[in-house]
Structure 1
Amino acid sequence: MKKILILLFIINQLIFALDISSQKIKNANTLFLKLEEKNIKNPKLTIDSHNIDFFEIPNKKDSYYALVPISYYKEFDKYKIIVSYIKNNKKVFKGINIEVIDGNYKSEIIKVTDNSKVTLNDKNKKRVDKEYKRAMNIYNKTTPKLYIKDDFIYPINSKITSDFGKKRVYNGTLKSYHSGTDFRAKNGTIIKAINNGKIVIAEDRFYAGKSIVIDHGQGIYSGYYHLSKKNFKVGDFVKKGDIIGLSGSTGRITGPHLHFSFRIHGILVDPLQAIELLNNNL
């Protein structure tokens, strides 16, 4: 009987096909997990007591995926991801070890001529706080439907002027890190939707200026900031390549450009790494 139980355990482990994009991950990067198994329910993973759902991979039977965004501020250490699902009324578990490593992001000094954008008065502090809370209420929601149909594109074909993750020193004071990727774009340059989705933010914000945010479904959001013009409103559906607006110099900015951001399950991640990951795996 003992030999039979051991054999069944080995067979179960072989059937439980689980792949991970990498077991060493930089802070502010994203992991892709792929689970292949028949007749299962409620597949999910847990990391640091935080649950993330798996979703069915389009056009692939018995295949599921989950995205694990790693915060910029995540402590550099080893962690365990626990994957679970229900099969034959029993819960099955598997653990995967990962290590979060330093992305070695550089620093840059930024001079903003309008000091009111750096040292905020009470009125602007309240506005920024209100805008942030409203946006996070959106980012922390997960649309079950995946709107994307094929690969992501870049919002603009232009030179990158500031990479994601750089520490931002505004007027001599360390304020934040660069939460997106900046593309060179003079005023009025066409900005395109990187994939299908619904517009969930279309407003003029204190820091980001005229902003468009697209929900691509299943926790994936892209943001386009400092625009001079917005072509869509909240609730509109856009397709990949649609012109969502024109670049500009609105908000806290030193000159015209496009600030492009990416969130997964509410967490800001490196947009270019996330796009490459999704294009290679979905």
Structure 2
Amino acid sequence: MRGLFLVLFLLSNLFAFRFDISNSEIKNGQTALIKFAKEEGVEFKYIKIKDKTYEIFSNYAYVPISYYEKPQTLKVYVHYTKNKKPESKLLFFKVVDGKYQKETLSVDNSKVKLSQKDKKRAAKEYVEAMDIYNSTTSKSFIDSDFIMPLNSKITSDFGRARIFNGTLKSYHSGTDFRAKVGTPIKCVNDGKVVLVKDRFYSGGSIIVDHGQGVYTCYYHMSKFDVKKNELVKKGQLLGLSGASGRVTGPHLHFSARVNGVQVDPLQFIELINKEL
């Protein structure tokens, strides 16, 4: 394994609980991966962090850390059965500050101060998206390395604090790639298209489900070449980049959700590609 190998001896029952963790320290907004060694009579079920539960698939689990998580030691409860008897043990993650940069944007006031109609539209679209992100397909479509959605310069990294017209409004929830209108956008891995829609903030939007709680998103597009519920392959054309939605110019906004949590898409891809 490429991660840090740790062994936690559970003295209460003299059972060696062995696991491999991709990174012992994790920045807010990033993802870790835990792989559990197979043990006779043991079946891993899920992990729980605070009030969130993440399923363990085939002895591994993704651990996404929210951008808003403060530096701390997080308690991670691992739930499993041993000889069909429910058990749980406690692990720890150290969350450190990602030290993300700030960027200042000047936009039209109509896109900062929304009308009631736009607020309702944006709220409805948010609920629709979160319903998607909070659902989990047990099957994984991923069986090879991820690729980039296009080969282009990154113009804005994940995590930058967004200051609109002098007021802190949000953080940058993805990675922006330079892309003039009409640039072909590729799917980064196999999956199923679960949303194809023009939305208020993200404009022309495509969301792809890669299974087991992993989603990638492609925003501000000008043209769609796939439909909802279509199965897509890595490298397949999804559509063309654009300048739709709440933007200051044409580009591709690429983002990822893991178990419902917004994470750094490039860090997630690097993590998974090391493990494949």
Report TM bin, short chain: over 0.9
Is structure 2 residue 255 aligned with structure 1 residue 275? no
Q: 1:261 Cα shift?
A: 0.4
Residue ranges of structure 1 left out of the alignment (5+ in a row)? 1-5, 57-63
Mark the CA change 1:49 to 1:127 in structure 2 (over 3 Å): closer, same or farther: closer
Identical-pair percentage? 53
Return the TM-score normalized by structure 1: 0.91
Counterpart residue identity of residue 229, structure 2: G
Count of matched residue pairs: 266
Residue ranges of structure 2 left out of the alignment (5+ in a row)? 1-9
Matches within 5 A, 1:163-202: 163-202=157-196
- What is the match of residue 32 of structure 1? 33
Deviation by residue 1:164-188 (Cα, 9 ceiling, x = unmatched)? 0000111222110000000011111
Q: Distance in 2 between matches of 1:124 and 1:9?
A: 58
- What is the match of residue 94 of structure 2? 99
Matches within 5 A, 1:61-140: 64-112=59-107, 114-140=108-134
Counterpart residue identity of residue 46, structure 1: K
- What is the match of residue 152 of structure 1? 146
Matches within 5 A, 1:219-234: 219-234=213-228
Q: 1:43 Cα shift?
A: 2.1
Structure 1 runs, 4 residues or longer, greater than 6 Å off: none
Deviation by residue 1:5-60 (Cα, 9 ceiling, x = unmatched)? x99944x21xx32111122110000110001224433521111132211101xxxx
Counterpart residue identity of residue 164, structure 1: F
1:52 alignment partner, one of 35, 51, 54: 54
Mark the CA change 1:83 to 1:122 in structure 2 (over 3 Å): closer, same or farther: same
Counterpart residue identity of residue 244, structure 1: L
Deviation by residue 1:179-235 (Cα, 9 ceiling, x = unmatched)? 000001111111000000011110000010001100000000000000011111111
| Higher Cα radius of gyration | 1
Q: Distance in 1 between matches of 2:100 and 2:84?
A: 46
RMSD over equivalenced CA pairs, Å: 1.6
- What is the match of residue 43 of structure 1? 45
Deviation by residue 1:220-253 (Cα, 9 ceiling, x = unmatched)? 0000000011111111110000010111100011
